[in-house]
Amino acid sequence: MKPIERNLRIAGCLTLVGLGVTLLSLAWKAPLSFILFAGVGAVLTFAGIVIYLYSLVSAAGTP
């Protein structure tokens, strides 16, 4: 597997879990659901996006 494909998989997994937690937090109507969204869902989603962008940059950098 190429490095970029491995990075895309990692980014995809993180973003998938993050969005899954976000969906769960929307279904759960309680004050703690915002903490779940902001502390877990959004953080994982953001991490996945960052890794995706890094994979683009690192792939562009390799000859």
Binding stretches for another protein (CB under 8 A): 1, 4-6, 8-9, 11-13, 15-16, 18-20, 22-23, 25-26, 29-35, 37-38, 41-42, 45-46, 48-49, 52-53
Alpha-helical regions (H) of 1-63: 3-27, 31-36, 42-61
**Number of neighbours of residue 18 by Cβ within 10 angstroms:** 21
Nearer to another protein, 55 or 63 (CB): 55
Please state, in angstroms and rounded to a whole number, the distance separating the CA atoms of residues 41 and 18: 4
Taking the complex as a whole, the smallest distance from the CB of residue 47 to another protein amounts, in Å, to 11
